[in-house]
Structure 1
Amino acid sequence: MNSIMDKLYNAVEEKGVVCVGLDTAFEYIPQHISEGRSVEDAIVKFNKDIIDATIDVAACFKVQIAYYEALGMKGMMAYKKTLEYLREKEAIIIADIKRGDIAATAKMYAKAHFEGDFEADFITLSPYMGMDSVEPYLPYITTGKKGIFSLVRTSNKGAEDIEYLDTASGDKVYHVVGDRLMDMGKEYVADCGYHPLGGVIGCTHVEEGKALRKRFSNMFFLIPGYGAQGGKAEDVAMYLNNGNGGVVNSSRGILLAYKKDGREKEYALCAREEAIRMRDEIRKAVADLK
């Protein structure tokens, strides 16, 4: 079976580790695109152009739902149409929804984001209510067609407030969360060697990179923190396994690349150039580690 994890692994092998973050705030859109269009149409136009320009150099796309929810129904229609276009292009989609609830509520979240208008290949979850907040998603995982990225050790400064607390065993809280996900995922390891219960592992705590990659050996990482949050290519390389085993998200860095040189009319080309630059920079950092 060609599982979603095998598809993602193969996409990284072929295209590199770049995950294009479609965290599209309306103010990111160049004026010549937004003028004369509705909010919904302007966002969809912008997103489609970014997708078309980067699809051959990006392993996957992450769509952060909050940017669309904030705009009400018109924003959610733009979200729906963006997902539809990504599916049409056969792109791998991560819906960044960060849900964290239990029982019947989690089942409804799973149905909402693994089926129907908002269907995605992966969704992000927050497991800090406990592992029973992850279990309702497993019926979709067992098909091999869906996966999750669960918060483990995040890139924000506030991660130290809870994730870094010591437990009775001497491990940090995030170690325990990652270990539980590893245990839960061991039944679903794909041909590529990774299971579909991935982890969100920020690259901004560089001293822990090698240890985390070794500890969570067959967990696929969604890696935030590169670029705007201070993470560098050489930091990212430590969280990968010979250049695979993870994807690295960039949102503002790619979407707003056109602002660096004032190339507003070439926003899509600038996004492509930034994705290629990022891909090649990380590939070089991986090679330098060997």
Structure 2
Amino acid sequence: MIIDRLLKEVGNKSFVCVGLDSDLIHIPESIKSKYESVEDIIFNFNKRIIDCSSDLVAIYKLQIAYYEKYGISGLMAYKRTLKYLKDKNLISIADIKRSDIQSTAKAYAKAHFEGDFEADFITLNPYMGIDTILPYLEYTKKDKGVFVLLLTSNEGAKDIECLNSEGKEIFYHVGDKLDKIAKEFKGESKYSNIGFVVGATNDKEAMKIRNRYENIFFLLPGYGSQNANSNTVKTYLKDDYTGGIVNSSRKIITNYKNYEDGDINFEKYTREAVIDMIADIRGINE
């Protein structure tokens, strides 16, 4: 099961998920000047990030919007990056947040679990109804996984996710339904191929969510540019730091911009950002 493989990577490396939000504005001039096409620039940027950090990082997440915005060239870079990760036996998340009726969801599942855009995990939005999740589950029976939005870190989460219904917030209604389904897709570990996306900025609910969904593995965005508290992150991860993965995108991939020699030492500062993140969350003072 893919969740067992991911858990092994977390144990051997760390809980870090690097977000490859590869906008051209984030890419060093030394890379942009070396290649002519958008496809080659973005792919080689991603490749160098992966090569300098893969011994420390459990998984890489590609937010598809940053590739779609550049049209076919961007999607070619997306395709090549996913293939490169697969060829190196590394794990990927396609951050696509799909939500649609079952016939359309079936097509999305095929598009992102097979063929040119194949990834190991994808993200899904359940707020159109649990039936929109079901077509993806044929793949989670095999060796694919999903991270389903539970409670997000954006300000608008209160508009729908946090509304109270029948004595509990909407996101708990969604989580409780998915938790029951997730039990059918457990690996050798206690975790399921169905995980939750939980914004790491949600301090108040952290302990309650972690205890309520004990056997769910979390994808935790919000560390870095959204300033999630490292203690809150640790609550979601559990004491052994294996309850989830923590995503950081811009803080890692643009760390080089903080240094005068950053452009020519891009890999050095990318790697340092990952090391600093691990130390910060673990509470290690070096």
Helix, strand or coil for the counterpart of 1:151?
Answer: strand
Match of 1:78 in 2: 77
Q: CA deviation at 1:70?
A: 0.3
What amino acid does structure 2 have at the position aligned with 1:244?
Answer: T
- Give the 5 Å matches for 1:34-45: 34-37=32-35, 38-45=37-44
Q: CA deviation at 1:284?
A: 2.5
1:52-99 CA-partner distances (Å, limit 9, x unpaired): 011000010000100000000000001001111111111110000000
1:248-270 CA-partner distances (Å, limit 9, x unpaired): 00000010000112311111221
- Give the 5 Å matches for 1:2-81: 3-37=1-35, 38-81=37-80
Match of 2:256 in 1: 258
**Are 1:189 and 2:149 counterparts?**
no
Query: Which of residues 196, 199, 202 in structure 2 aligns to 1:199?
Result: 196
How many percent of aligned residue pairs carry the same amino acid? 49
1:170-216 CA-partner distances (Å, limit 9, x unpaired): 11001111111101111111111001110000111212111110001
CA-based RMSD of the aligned residues comes to: 1.2
**Greater shift in the superposed pair: 121-130 or 181-190:** 181-190
After TM superposition, the score normalised by the length of structure 1 is: 0.95
What amino acid does structure 2 have at the position aligned with 1:267?
Answer: F
Unaligned runs of 5+ in 1: 286-290
Match of 1:235 in 2: 232
What amino acid does structure 2 have at the position aligned with 1:233?
Answer: S
CA distance in 1, matches of 2:215, 2:234: 16
CA distance in 2, matches of 1:230, 1:284: 16
Helix, strand or coil for the counterpart of 1:207?
Answer: coil
CA distance in 1, matches of 2:197, 2:41: 30
Unaligned runs of 5+ in 2: none
After TM superposition, the score normalised by the length of structure 2 is: 0.96
CA distance in 2, matches of 1:131, 1:191: 25
After TM superposition, the runs of 4+ consecutive aligned structure 1 residues lying more than 6 A away are none
Q: CA deviation at 1:36?
A: 4.3
